[in-house]
């Protein structure tokens, strides 16, 4: 099945300079140039590239032109396959329509319909965590009620002569918005389900509807059994995330200054959010998360030249933790 194109969704307020010089090969998905196409970083078919070749032949001959000749396919080294956790997250992203969220946009993506396939995946996420079956049943009941109401509203027709009977419409009502099922929050259930599908043992990464439960388990294990731990904790400024790692932000009113402070409050409630890193490189980190504006989306965050994610804007939850996978085989 051919890959579906990405649906990009950008923020209107966050600067995008970090995306304007990315080679096409460093931007996820099948789309060619993202950001400033005139930069010609690897986009050989853009009109601006052709103009540059015509206007600056000397530069091209000297090897400093912006648009180099295409590299033969057999000369390009094959990229290693993504680790299981990243692969499982990308598979879910495919099912949800390959929606891309750039930065921290205020507006939601255009495609947020609760299609049967999406709703079924959401139910599956809840079934993967303790206590999730009850939530799944409530959501199924809620959907049945909504479907009945939509069907009632879709009845159309006019009286036939003196008959009071109205003809029923054969038109299927459009799906409701997926935001109707955003609560309870399901981002941790998504991460748990993806971990199970990737073959990560429950003992290394316990399933939970709360991010802090598996984070606490990983942190305690890193302290008590540093040699046998599946994930190691790092501060975002200490380590560039790789595919298969988890990038976590603190959504509380008073965020942690450092992940190690969580060790003083293990077991206590703290709203957090984690995404699975699927691609990385100088200038950008891409991660797939659940319940991102009520959908599964691939998020693009700016990074420095070493690949370390840059701090979030002041009004956004700060990144406080990178869970680095130790065994991604």
pTM: 0.74
| Short-list 37, 29, 23, CA closest to 4 | 29
Kindly list the domain boundaries of the chain, sorted by start residue. 9-75, 85-150+170-325
CA 263 to chain CA mean position, Å? 27
Pairing of strands 246-250, 319-325: antiparallel
pLDDT at residue 152, as a whole number: 78
pLDDT at residue 215, as a whole number: 98
pLDDT at residue 327, as a whole number: 66
pLDDT at residue 135, as a whole number: 97
pLDDT at residue 12, as a whole number: 40
- The segments of the chain whose pLDDT lies below 70 read 1-79, 154-173, 327-329
CB atoms within 10 A of CB 298: 27
Q: Are 320 and 252 in contact (CB under 8 A)?
A: no
pLDDT at residue 127, as a whole number: 97
pLDDT at residue 282, as a whole number: 83
Give the pLDDT confidence of 12-46 residue by residue, as tens digits. 433 333 443 343 334 344 333 333 333 333 444 44
């Amino acid at each position: 099945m051919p890959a579906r194109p990405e649906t990009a969704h950008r923020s209107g307020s966050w600067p995008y300079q970090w995306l304007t010089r990315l080679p096409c090969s460093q931007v996820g998905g099948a789309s060619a140039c993202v950001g400033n196409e005139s930069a010609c970083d690897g986009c050989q078919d853009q009109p601006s590239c052709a103009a540059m070749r015509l206007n600056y032949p000397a530069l091209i001959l000297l090897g400093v032109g912006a648009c180099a000749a295409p590299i033969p396919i057999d000369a390009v080294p094959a990229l290693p396959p993504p680790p299981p956790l990243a692969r499982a997250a990308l598979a879910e992203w495919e099912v949800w329509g390959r929606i891309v969220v750039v930065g921290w946009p205020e507006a939601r993506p255009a495609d947020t319909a609760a299609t049967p396939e999406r709703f079924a995946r959401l139910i599956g996420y809840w079934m993967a965590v303790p206590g999730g079956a009850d939530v799944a049943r409530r959501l199924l009941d809620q959907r049945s009620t909504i479907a009945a109401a939509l069907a009632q509203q879709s009845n159309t027709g006019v009286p036939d002569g003196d008959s009071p009977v109205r003809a029923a419409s054969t038109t299927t009502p459009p799906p409701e918005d997926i935001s109707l099922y955003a609560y309870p929050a399901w981002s941790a259930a998504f991460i748990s389900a993806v971990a199970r599908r990737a073959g990560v043992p429950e003992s290394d990464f316990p399933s939970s509807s709360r991010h802090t439960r598996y984070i606490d388990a990983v942190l305690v294990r890193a302290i008590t059994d540093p040699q046998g731990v599946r994930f190691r904790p790092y501060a975002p400024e200490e380590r560039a995330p790789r595919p298969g790692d988890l990038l976590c932000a603190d959504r509380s009113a008073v965020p942690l200054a450092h992940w190690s402070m969580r060790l003083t409050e293990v077991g206590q409630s703290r709203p957090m959010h984690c995404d699975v890193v699927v691609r990385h490189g100088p200038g950008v980190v891409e991660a797939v998360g659940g319940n991102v504006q009520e959908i599964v989306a691939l998020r693009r965050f700016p990074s420095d030249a070493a690949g370390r994610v840059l701090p979030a804007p002041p009004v956004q939850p700060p990144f406080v933790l990178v869970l680095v996978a130790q065994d991604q085989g």
